[in-house]
């Protein structure tokens, strides 16, 4: 039996998926623009952010409508609550891609400080986390959501290594400071993206199991 | 979530079975009802909610051919013990039904006082304060205090139901049973009754059958889910409605059957 709420949840899921695609695309464009030194690609990020913001509102409206009209309970209720939170994270992720673009544009106005090695690794790790948490949400895949939580540790470690290396650069050569700072900010933006993906994974776990695992809660 | 803390248990059933002739309508239900909490009974129609609640004050056995087996403990004492008078039990455990049923020939005052009058109390100095207190508890006093001599049946449906609640409360029962008390009422009367239930719990333990899931979610502390004469699951209402343990509960409260 298909319930009216199933229809509405499916539409909502499509909306979140579309939004998630935009977020993935904007992270891809922002990081590739930086890595490949193709500043034109940053423009795409600013366009995508507008679409993401529109979806942010549409998703919220759909959630409120379902809450008001369908009075969801149990797994349905948890799913809507999780969606509301995931929506917020996705919107912030769009903002972080924009931040990467701003910092990246500034970085690209000067010659390369060094060949980027760890930063592309970190970017690829983060993009995989984003992909996985969205897949876990769509496919109701608990194991995949739990895997995202592990991956966040890798991202944090990469960020620390990048920071150490760039600090050493700045100490050696004052000429490097503004470029190193931009890269530090970008590493920080990527770290935040990983945190948002982690939040989404935690929300997926809550939607699927009813367990709130945030802040070591069990 | 941590360890679940129960208030002390007021009412408890142990392996309760109910029969209509040869037909068994309840298959051994064990449920604990904590004091001064509201326990909601939910489940599809015909699953045995009314039968269960009617066993709790020995009303079930009044149906032709009906009997109950198992134990029902009120404050630890079995109300089905041979020495117990069912009439006294029904005074200790009051009941409010789906359709408001004020006594037709009686005034509002007499309706509320009827339990005491039946027990032989005639003194107005005793009855007056009880009538006022009960009508206040039922959130009806302000609306009727100037017309206590009017017939109870003159009131609106929602007011009549609150009159029946006041009547049940007048004998000071520790437990009040309600079988779909708002299903014949409009939303505003329903909201008034839900509101008064929250206050009522401070004085009485309430067991309420409702087919309205949102109502159970709004007003109850604990919820028990019945299916086909069995109690599938009971627990804290917020847990039942956000994360039920049994998949049949999940299916029922999300409207997948029933
Ligand atoms: N007076 C009766 N005689 C015979 N069977 C009855 C009687 N009342 C109820 N039943 C049966 O007992 C079962 C439980 O009914 P009931 O307790 O009224 O369910 P609910 O209140 O959950 O809708 C049903 O199968 C119903 O048909
Ligand atoms: Mg019934």
Q: Concatenated DSSP letters for B33-76?
A: EETT-EEEEE-STTSSHHHHHHHTTT-GGGSTTEEEEEEEEETT
Give the number of beta-carbon pairs within 8 Å between A and B. 34
Of A96-105, A119-128, B2-11, B188-197, minimum mean pLDDT range: B2-11
Give the Å distance between the CA of B247 and the centre of ligand 1.
24
**B-chain residue closest to A81, CA distance:** B242
A218 pLDDT band, cuts 50/70/90, is low
Question: Quick check: B242 and A72 CB within 8 A?
Answer: no
A67 touches chain B (CB under 8 A): no
**A-chain residue closest to B243, CA distance:** A74
3-state secondary structure of B230: strand
What tokens does A85 get? 């939170």
Residues A77, B241: contact at Cβ < 8 Å?
Answer: yes
**Rounded to a whole number, what is the distance in angstroms from the first to the last CA of chain B?**
29
* B253 min Cα distance to partner chain A (Å): 7
* A18 min Cα distance to partner chain B (Å): 27
Encode burial over B160-182: b for 16+ CB neighbours within 10 A, e otherwise.
Answer: bbbbbbbbbbbbebbbbbbbbbb
Residues A94, A21: contact at Cβ < 8 Å?
Answer: no
Q: Which residues contact B102 (CB under 8 A, 6 or more apart)?
A: B111, B152, B153, B155, B160, B163, B164, B167
Ligand 1 pocket residues where CB is under 6 Å = B 20, 23, 25, 43, 45-51, 63
Residues B26, B229: contact at Cβ < 8 Å?
Answer: yes
- Residues, chain B, total? 258
∠ Cα B134 B205 B122 (to 5°):
30
Give the C-alpha separation, A203 to A199, whole Å.
6
Give the C-alpha separation, B169 to B158, whole Å.
17
pLDDT of residue A131: 97
The residue of B214, B242, B257 whose CB has the most chain A CBs within 10 angstroms, and thus the best one to mutate to test that interface, is: B242
pLDDT of residue B2: 45
**A-chain residue closest to B217, CA distance:** A73
**B-chain residue closest to A80, CA distance:** B242
Q: Which of A:154-173 have CB within 8 Å of B?
A: none
Q: What is the pLDDT along chain B (258 residues), one digit of tens a residue?
A: 445 666 799 999 999 999 999 999 999 999 999 999 999 999 999 999 999 999 999 999 999 999 999 999 999 999 999 999 999 999 999 999 999 999 999 999 999 999 999 989 999 999 999 999 999 999 999 999 999 999 999 999 999 999 999 999 999 999 999 999 999 999 999 999 999 999 999 999 999 999 999 999 999 999 999 999 999 999 999 999 999 999 999 999 999 875
Ligand 1: which residue has its CA nearest to atom 1? B63
pLDDT of residue B4: 61
What tokens does B199 get? 């206050």
Helices A177-209 and A142-172, packing angle to 10 deg:
170
Q: Which residues contact A141 (CB under 8 A, 6 or more apart)?
A: A135
Give the H/E segment covering residue A144.
helix A142-172
Instruction: Kindly report the number of other CB atoms within 10 A of residue B61's CB atom.
Output: 15
Question: Quick check: A74 and B254 CB within 8 A?
Answer: yes
A36 touches chain B (CB under 8 A): no
pLDDT of residue A101: 98
Nearest ligand 1 atom to alpha carbon B65: 3
For residue A74, the chain B residues in CB contact (below 8 A) are 241-244, 249-250, 253-254
A66 touches chain B (CB under 8 A): no
Ligand 1: which residue has its CA nearest to atom 4? B20
pLDDT of residue B200: 94
Q: What is the number of the ligand closest to the CA of B54? A: 1
Residues B122, B184: contact at Cβ < 8 Å?
Answer: no
Give the Å distance between the CA of B119 and the centre of ligand 2.
30
Question: Quick check: A3 and B242 CB within 8 A?
Answer: no
Question: Quick check: B242 and A73 CB within 8 A?
Answer: yes
Domains of chain B: 9-253 (3.40.50.300)
For residue B237, the chain A residues in CB contact (below 8 A) are none
Give the C-alpha separation, B252 to B228, whole Å.
12
Question: Quick check: A74 and B213 CB within 8 A?
Answer: no
Spatial CA neighbour of A165 closest among A152, A179, A146, A154: A179
Give the C-alpha separation, A53 to A153, whole Å.
29
Average pLDDT over residues A77-84: 97
Average pLDDT over residues A200-217: 91
3-state secondary structure of B96: strand
- Residues, chain A, total? 218
Q: In percent, how much of chain A has pLDDT > 90?
A: 95
Nearest by CB to A210, from B242, B249, B256: name it.
B242
Q: What is the number of the ligand closest to the CA of B25? A: 1
Question: Quick check: A71 and B213 CB within 8 A?
Answer: yes
Domains of chain A: 4-216 (1.20.58.220)
pLDDT of residue B258: 57
Give the C-alpha separation, B135 to B128, whole Å.
11
Question: Quick check: A74 and B257 CB within 8 A?
Answer: no
């Amino acid at each position: 039996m298909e319930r009216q709420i199933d229809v509405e949840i499916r539409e909502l899921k499509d909306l979140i998926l579309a939004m998630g695609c935009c977020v993935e695309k904007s992270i891809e464009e922002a990081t590739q623009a930086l890595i490949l030194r193709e500043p034109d690609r940053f423009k795409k990020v600013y366009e995508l952010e507008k679409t993401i913001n529109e979806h942010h509102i549409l998703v919220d409206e759909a959630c409120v409508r379902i809450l008001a009209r369908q009075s969801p309970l149990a797994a349905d209720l948890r799913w809507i609550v999780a969606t509301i939170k995931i929506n917020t994270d996705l919107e912030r992720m769009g903002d972080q891609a924009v931040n990467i673009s701003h910092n990246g544009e500034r970085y690209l106005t000067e010659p390369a400080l060094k060949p980027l090695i760890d930063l592309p690794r970190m970017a690829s790790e983060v993009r995989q986390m984003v992909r996985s948490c969205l897949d876990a949400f769509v496919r109701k895949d608990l194991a995949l959501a739990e895997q995202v939580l592990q991956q966040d540790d890798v991202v944090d470690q990469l960020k620390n290594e990048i920071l150490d290396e760039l600090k050493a650069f700045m100490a050696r050569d004052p000429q490097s400071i503004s470029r190193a700072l931009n890269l530090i900010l970008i590493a920080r933006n990527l770290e935040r993206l990983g945190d948002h993906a982690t939040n989404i994974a935690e929300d997926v776990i809550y939607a699927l199991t009813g367990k709130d695992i945030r802040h070591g809660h069990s | 979530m941590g360890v679940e803390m129960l208030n002390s248990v007021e009412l408890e059933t142990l392996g309760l079975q109910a029969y209509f002739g040869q037909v068994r309508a309840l298959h051994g239900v064990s449920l604990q009802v904590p004091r001064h909490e509201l326990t909601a009974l939910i489940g599809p129609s015909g699953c045995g909610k009314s039968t269960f609640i009617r066993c709790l004050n020995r009303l079930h056995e009044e149906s032709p051919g009906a009997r109950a087996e198992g134990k029902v403990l009120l404050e630890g004492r079995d109300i089905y013990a041979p020495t117990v008078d069912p009439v006294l039990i029904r005074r200790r455990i009051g009941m409010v039904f789906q359709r408001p049923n004020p006594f037709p020939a009686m005034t509002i005052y007499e309706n509320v006082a009827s339990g005491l009058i039946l027990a032989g109390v005639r003194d107005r100095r005793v009855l007056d304060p009880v009538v006022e207190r009960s009508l206040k508890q039922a959130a009806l006093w302000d609306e009727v205090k100037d017309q206590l001599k009017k017939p109870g049946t003159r009131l609106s449906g929602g007011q009549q139901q609150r009159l029946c609640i006041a009547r049940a409360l007048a004998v000071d029962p520790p437990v009040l049973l309600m079988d779909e008390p708002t299903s014949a009422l409009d939303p505003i009367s329903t909201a008034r009754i839900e509101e008064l239930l929250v206050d009522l719990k401070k004085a009485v333990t309430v067991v309420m059958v409702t087919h309205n899931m949102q109502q159970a979610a709004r007003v109850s502390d604990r919820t028990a889910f019945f299916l086909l004469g069995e109690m599938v699951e009971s627990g804290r209402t917020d847990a039942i409605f956000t994360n039920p343990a049994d998949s049949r509960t999940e299916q029922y409260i999300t409207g997948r059957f029933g």
